[in-house]
Amino acid sequence: MIDSLAYIGFTSPNAQAWTTFGPEILGLHLAAPRPDGAVLLRNDDAAWRIAIHPGDTDDLAYLGWAVSGPDAVAAVTDRLSAAGIDVHQDDGTLAAQRMVSSLAWFTDPFGFRHELVHGLATEPGSFSAGRPGVSFVTGDEGLGHAVLIVPDWDAATQFFVDVLGFRVSDDIEAGIKVRFLHCNPRHHSLAFSAVPGMAGFHHLMLEVTDAEHVRQAYQLVQDRGLPVAMSLGKHTNDEMFSFYVRTPSGFEIEYGAGGRVIDTQKPWEIGHYDALSTWGHQPPATPLFPGILHAAARPAS
């Protein structure tokens, strides 16, 4: 079914701020500028992984999911169609813009746009970290993970698990309840929490290969006075050593190292946790608004 999170796109009136925030803080590679003004960022040899499009509001524009090829696109399309979701086949125009071999897209029951793609263009040996020595965990595990806010817990589980084929890794219930889903050895490529009547985007996670680069990034964030949503800490379920920084576009980046890996060839026991973290991950004295949050696009079905 779905193999990994291939890319992600946002709209933002502060798109240009990413030309420094991405490389200097996160260590991302700033790709060549786009004629439409979109800022493209890379965390490996893929032509791009993160796009920030100029726009009037901060919002999630699309999630791009890698599949193995046309047969996989057809299989996912059949499941979506059976669930009453319209899937749109691209004529090649959008695929060229996204730098993929082919593309189909749909809008889920919560208003989020998803793109099914294969053949994301790569440029072997071309990644150049914005901060010296930084490298990211990608490959078969994809870009990282994304966390959504949805209006209905049960509907989200039914859609993402039963229709799209994600597998439940575990749940955390600690004031808020979060469900974590995997599609490859990364502990989770997608997670969600439910807020009745609301939908939105909470954070994107980027994993580096060396915990020292996490510490360096945290120091840079503090030195520049950037808003920290959660301090350095370690999560209970995926064991990620990380911190959360508010981006120029309203959502958060979790920046971490040492995440747990799932052996997808063996049975997985779903975990249940009553704490987000084993230590740290403290919020600021005045908590930040939780990401990009707005009224649900339409009722969950």
Domain with residue 272: its CATH number is 3.10.180.10
- Please count the structural domains in the chain: 1
Instruction: Supply the pLDDT for residue 177.
Output: 95
Whether 99 and 47 have beta carbons less than 8 Å apart is answered as yes
142 within some domain? yes
182 within some domain? yes
- Average pLDDT for 72-93: 96
Of residues 298 and 27, the one with the higher pLDDT is 27
- Average pLDDT for 23-35: 95
Of residues 298 and 248, the one with the higher pLDDT is 248
What's the CA gap between 112 and 63, in Å, rounded?
Answer: 8
Q: Which domain holds residue 175?
A: 4-123+135-295
Instruction: Supply the pLDDT for residue 241.
Output: 98
Q: What is the pLDDT of residues 204-252, one digit of tens each?
A: 999 999 999 999 999 999 999 999 999 999 999 999 999 999 999 999 9
130 within some domain? no
pLDDT band (50, 70, 90) for residue 297: low
Q: Is the pLDDT of residue 91 over 60?
A: yes
Q: What is the pLDDT of residues 147-187, one digit of tens each?
A: 999 999 999 999 999 999 999 999 999 989 999 999 999 99
26 within some domain? yes
- DSSP secondary structure, 161-205, as one string: IIIT--EEEEEEEESEEEEEEESSSBS-SEEEEE-TTEEEEEEEE
237 within some domain? yes
- Average pLDDT for 64-85: 96
58 within some domain? yes
250 within some domain? yes
Instruction: Supply the pLDDT for residue 300.
Output: 37
Distances (CA, A) of 81 to 53, 106, 116, 253, 268: 30, 10, 14, 33, 29
pLDDT band (50, 70, 90) for residue 301: very low
Q: Which residues contact 111 (CB under 8 A, 6 or more apart)?
A: 199, 296, 297, 298
12 within some domain? yes
